[in-house]
Structure formats: structure tokens, C-alpha cells
Chain A
Amino acid sequence: MNIRYAFVSAIAILLGAVLMFLPEKQLKIEKNPVDLLLAINDESRWISTDELAHSIVEKDPYFLLIDVRSEDEYQTFSLPGSLHIPLDSIQSPNYLPYLQQEGLRKIFYSNTSAKATQAWVLSKRRNLSNIYVLEGGVNRWVETILNPVKPASTAPQEEFDLYSFRVAASQYFGNSAEETVESEAPKKPMIQVSRKKKAAQGGC
């Protein structure tokens, strides 16, 4: 037997034996406090209701809406296509696979920004990335997207553009805004089809 092979085998066995007697070790996967504080002060976690409406209308496949409110609130009203993870179980390992999907933007929302921000901080602390908070939550959604307010007549053009987007979005989400843009359904033109008269039948 080759002496080199025997030597390498002995090292392998030794390392294996050490591994066998090493105690199990669970590393902390928490973000360090300084980074967490910097992340909390960073404003880039906010997603506005308009951005969200855009994403939904354009059928953007790369985001996941997460409702962190209670079960009752979720049943009463929720944003289209949202997943329900109550705030008290956001740390549960059952939901971890949803939050760990790297490619998806995970957007937390609650009635205001408060609970969603808590969920965001808890998740950030666990080093989850690509997570956001819906600014103003469901309340802002209802105010801006479902019931948009017409800007004053002196407002700049951008506000009118935004308003018309919101009216359209409101219609998209099934809530007709009060001032809907009048558009009559185009009448279908009647096409007279002239059928060839069949030749007189009968005879022989």
C-alpha cells in the first residue's frame, strides 16, 4: 500500500473523528445592531401605493404582498394577491421559505405603516433581503387608489396625470371612483349579412 495514501487516509479519519465529537453549533444569523440601525434609518424600504398599483396592474411577477394584520382584518379586506402572515407569526419557520425568496420583492402592509414596519424590522434583523413596506398601508391605499381626490384646478399637470392614473387604477381594482371618465361603450356596428336566397326547391 502506498504510504502517501495511508497518510491522507489517516488525516481524513482524524478530521472525521474530531467532527464526530464537536458539539452542535447554531450560529446567530442576526444582523449586527449597527447595520440594523442604518437600515432602519434608510428610507428606501418604502413603496408608495402608486408604485404598488403600477406593479399589480402591469402584472409584475416579481413581488409578493404580505398582509401582517389579523385574520379578521385580512378576511374583511385585503389587497389583491396578498399572502396572510400575521405579525405574531412572522418569525415562524413555516413562513420562512416565503420570506427567503431572493428574487421576489416582499412588501409588508398593515392598516397604517406601523405594524408592517415592525414586521420589516423583525425580518431585517434576520438578514432577509429585498423587503419593503407599503407606505401608509391599507388606509393610504383606500385614500389614494380606491377613492382618489381630484386635485385643485390650479395644481400642476403632474398631479392631474397622477389623478387620472389613480382613477384608472381604481376602476381596475373594481371600485369605480366618483368621477369616472365618461366613455360610452362603442356600439357594435350592425352588419347586415345578405344571404343568398336559395334557389327554389322542388320539382324533380
Chain B
Amino acid sequence: MGPLVTQDIIGGNWNFVLAFILGLFFGGVLEQAGFSSSRKLAGVFYGYDFVVLRVFFTAAITAMVGLLFFHYFEWIDLSLVYVNPTFWPSALTGGAIMGLGFIVGGFCPGTSVCAASIGKIDAMVFLVGIFIGISLFGFTYDWWVDFVFAGDLGRIKVYDSLGMRQGSFAFMLIAVALIAFYATRWIEKRVKKVEY
């Protein structure tokens, strides 16, 4: 049956409408989780708040388990789901820049929009920074293009690279997630509380 958009069950224009609605809910959930506070987000780097890790890891394993079961029940065809190709040099560089920006600015791109919409000034400044960065990259794209598409590994998946079965990797990831959840609770109890 699915994926709905790839198979034209949901048309191209409805795709955007649905994306907008889902985006609203996503923003709402981020706000509910407290992700419009840069202190909470930055907490994961200083060890006093690991909610970011728990929320996103939970989202990831929920989506993973859901997709794998849906695939098994033939509700979605995973071979039609788009997987980004991996370009390792640009992925590493991008990850480093993103991580640095996260620590310095206290937001990741999605949460900055979320925080700006509830009136956080630091998030608005962060957004301006994002647009300056995007524009700079866009205008100087010709300089980077060779680097951006260097080291193409294709559409690789972790379990293929590790030589594991998909299901075994899923189980392992769930186990890692649960261990991480309990470990971060343990760390939080031992790090001095930060009021924010």
C-alpha cells in the first residue's frame, strides 16, 4: 500500500498540505517536550538534562519498529522509501558544523523555529544566522560542489555495513536506547541541578 506519496496515492499538492499539518504537530510536540529552551537543549552537552537524547531516540526507535512491522504486514514497501545517499566527507563536516552550532547557539534548526515562534529572541537571532549561513553556502555553492559530492557511498544502511540482519540490528538499537535512557537518568541524578 504505502508509501502514499511515492505511489501517487496522495497527490503532489496534498503532499505539501499534509507536510504543513504534520509540521505544525511536530512543532507542538517539540514545544511540549520543552525544546524551545536553549538551556534544556544545551543540557545534553553538559550532563544536566538528557531529555533531547531521550525524546529523539524514542522517536527514532518508535518509527523504526513501526516501519519494520508495517513492512512485514505489507502496509508499506520499505524499498520505495527514499534513503539519502551518504557522502562521508561532507557528512562528517556537516555534522561537526551542526554540532558546534548546536552547542554555541543552543538550538538545532527545527527547535530554533519552534522557540522563535513563542517569542524567544535568542532563537530569532539563531534563525537569522541560519539564513545567512544558507545564503552564503548557496552563493558560493560552486566552490564546494566537488567536496559536497565527494566520497559517495550510495544508499548504505548501517545493518548492511555491519553485515547484520535488519531485525537483529533493530533489537540491538532498542537495547542500546534503553541502556542509554537508564544511564542518562543515572548521570542526571549525579550532576548538579541547573535551574532554568
Chain A residues close to B by CB (< 8 Å): 5, 9, 12-13, 15-17, 19-22, 24-27, 29, 127, 129
CA distance A25 to B72 in the complex (A): 7
Could you say which of B71, B80, B181 contacts A25, with CB atoms under 8 Å apart?
B71
The listed residue (A9, A20, A29, A127) touching B170 by CB distance below 8 A is A20
The verdict on A20 contacting B72 (CB below 8 Å), with A12-B178, A29-B77, A29-B79 known, is: no
Residue among A16, A21, A27 with most chain B CB within 10 A: A16
Interface of A, helix, strand, loop or mixed by DSSP: helix
Q: For B78, what are the chain A residues with a Cβ–Cβ distance below 8 Å? A: 27
Residues of B within 8 A of A21 (CB): 167
- Asked whether B174 lies within 8 Å of A22 as measured between CB atoms, the reply is no
Q: Is B135 an interface residue (CB 8 A)?
A: no
Given contacts A9-B178, A27-B74, A129-B8, contact A19 B80 (CB under 8 A): no
Determine the distance from Cα of A82 to Cα of B65 in the docked complex, in whole angstroms.
42
Which chain B residues border A16 with CB–CB below 8 Å? 65, 170-171, 173-175
Q: Which residues of B contact A13 (CB under 8 A)?
A: 174-175, 178
Number of A-B contacts (CB under 8 A): 54
User: What is the total number of residues of chain B having a CB less than 8 Å from a CB of chain A?
Assistant: 25
A22 to B65, CA, bound (A): 12
Chain B residues 153-176 with CB under 8 Å of chain A are 165-168, 170-171, 173-175
Residue contacts A-B, CB under 8 angstroms, 30 given: A5-B181, A9-B181, A12-B61, A12-B65, A12-B178, A13-B174, A13-B175, A15-B65, A16-B65, A16-B170, A16-B171, A16-B173, A16-B175, A19-B68, A19-B69, A19-B166, A20-B167, A20-B168, A22-B167, A24-B165, A24-B166, A25-B71, A25-B72, A27-B71, A27-B74, A27-B77, A27-B78, A27-B79, A29-B79, A129-B8
Indicate whether B140 reaches chain A with its CB closer than 8 angstroms.
Answer: no
- B68 contact set on A, CB distance < 8 A: 19, 22
Contacts of B74 in A (CB 8 A): 27
B170 touches A19 (CB 8 A): yes
Q: Which residues of A contact B167 (CB under 8 A)?
A: 19-22, 24
- Docked Cα-Cα span, A15 to B66, in Å, equals 10
Smallest distance from the beta carbon of A85 to chain B beta carbons, Å?
18
Question: What residues of A have a CB within 8 angstroms of the CB of B13 in the complex?
Answer: none
Q: Which residues of A contact B178 (CB under 8 A)?
A: 9, 12-13
